[in-house]
Chains A and B, each alone.
Chain A
Amino acid sequence: MLDDFLVRAALAAVGTALAASILGCFVVWRRMAYFGDATAHAAILGVALALALNVSVIAGVGLVALIVALLIHRLSDRQQGTDTILGVLAHGALALGLVAVALLPGARIDLEAYLFGDVLTVTRSDLAVIWAGVLVVLALLWWHWSALLLATLNPDLATASGVDPQRENLILTLMLAGVVAVAIKVVGALLITALLVIPAAAARRASNGPERMAAVAASIGVTAALGGIALSLQLDTPTGPSIVCVAVALFACASLGGRFIRSA
């Protein structure tokens, strides 16, 4: 079954969408979209390093994403304009990554595959790594769900209840780096934030509780992943952007539907 490239692509996209859309709820609740963007852009630098050192791309991306995320985390603690720091780091890492890739000796690499994803070329071992990452993220979300929620609401309230908000922030940062690493093959560095934010945003109106919002976001994410692959086969369009297009369409439907229900 895994011999079929379509099955592998579908499994990779579904796993990534599942982890990204649930984690994405926290990204939305904490207004971290730009943080996600900066971490994701750093992925290109990770690609360059991985190719230069001849190690797995996913490992390189995960490591660099983690370092950049931790860096942002540290710097934004110091009350300088977080927006500005994110802007510098996001585009700095992206530009540095693009330059580093160009400087790599030997075979020219297909940069587009890392910027916009290339899920149809996912191999069996890619798939194993992606799902390992996805399962780790899902497990962390499961174990830390309440603690993460409380730390999101109010750090002091969390501390008073015996939850260390710093630790939860760190776990969130780790998960974000993990999702960036597994998503680079699926939607590419430039569209990872879309996979994080759009399903969660679309799920908001249909939800009266955080768990429900996560569940609805996950199903929207998975629908977008499968729908996007189908769309790209039908129209012969790039798969990553097609997945995001379907997600945006679902978001639009949810928004219009919500407005309709509200005014009815």
Chain B
Amino acid sequence: MTLLSAEHLRVSYGTTAILQDVSLSIAAGEIVTIVGPNGSGKSTLLRSLIGALRPDSGRILREAGLRIGYVPQKLSIDSTLPLTARRFLDLPRRVSRAQGEAALTRTGVAHVANRQMADLSGGQFQRVLLARAILNAPQLLILDEATQGLDQPGAAQFYRLIEDVRGDLGCAVLMVSHELHVVMSASDRVICLNGHICCEGTPEVVSAAPAYRELFGTGTGGALALYRHDHDHHHHHHHHGTTD
């Protein structure tokens, strides 16, 4: 069953086209990851999907009554705004004490309920955002670079948590990430974006695709190249891909 789909999206700022002819769909329960270099339109795509941006052309179809849980890329809370983690969950609708506690417990941050959001560590902050996103038992969880600012173990833990939450709720997950090697393993499907969809498929298919390798084989350099070097054995493919 398709929860959300986009057909031939085109989004531009001024005369610069950010997204061109982007079509995708998310089925119930699957984990889809969008990868792409900086400026490839990943956030623009997510913002279009949640309705924060109106595409120039193309359309977005949602299943009627679709419940979306959204975790933004960053949330800068002005230092003049006092807000505890628990109070944050009540936006925009108040939730019961039990509900709030359950959500914070689920994401492992029940102990910071009464702390100020501004005083939380990066990992705690993201977990509170996730707790808020799962309050309405979403059918689709959308996360925009949710692990930005976390170190590698922290990011890996966060992705495991997302997998667990998906297991509990049975929701689909759509996320954007630049931490390809971490995200890949958790994803059912990967979409490689660079203004348009370069390639898409299972992590294995995408990581072997020439278009993907062209973008990331040299683009992100060190860590990823090393990782691929260690963990798959298609050296000749790699070579082939970059010279293709």
Residues of A within 8 A of B (CB): 28-31, 146-147, 149-150, 152-163, 200-201, 204, 207-210, 212-213
Tell me whether B92 and A163 are in contact (CB under 8 A): yes
Binds A, one of B47-55, B158-166, B191-199, B234-242: B47-55
Q: Judge whether B81 and A161 touch: CB under 8 Å.
A: no
By a CB distance below 8 angstroms, the chain B residues around A201 are 80
Interface residues of B (CB under 8 A from A): 47, 50-52, 68-70, 72, 75, 77-78, 80-84, 87, 90-94, 116, 142
Which partner residue on chain B sits nearest A206 by CB separation?
Answer: B82
Cβ of B52 and Cβ of A210 under 8 Å apart? Answer: no
Instruction: Tell me the dominant secondary structure on chain B's binding face.
Output: loop
Quick one: which of B81, B84, B93, B94 has the most chain A CB within 10 A?
B81
B81 touches A160 (CB 8 A): no
Known pairs A150-B91, A150-B92; A157 contacts B78 (CB<8 A): no
The minimal Cβ–Cβ distance linking A77 to chain B, given in whole angstroms, is 13
Q: Do B91 and A209 have beta carbons less than 8 Å apart?
A: no
Q: What separation, in Å, do the CA atoms of A156 and B68 have in the docked complex?
A: 12
CB pair B78–A209 under 8 Å, yes or no, is no
Q: Which residues of A contact B84 (CB under 8 A)?
A: 208-209
A204:B72 contact, CB within 8 angstroms: no
Q: Most A CB atoms within 10 A — which of B82, B83, B87, B116?
A: B82
Beta-carbon contact of B70 and A156 below 8 Å: yes
Q: Which of B70, B72, B82, B116 sits near A213, CB closer than 8 Å? A: B82
Q: How far is the CA of A212 from the CA of B82 in the complex (A)?
A: 9
8 residue pairs, one from A and one from B, having the closest CB atoms: A160-B70, A159-B52, A146-B92, A29-B81, A160-B50, A150-B91, A207-B82, A156-B52
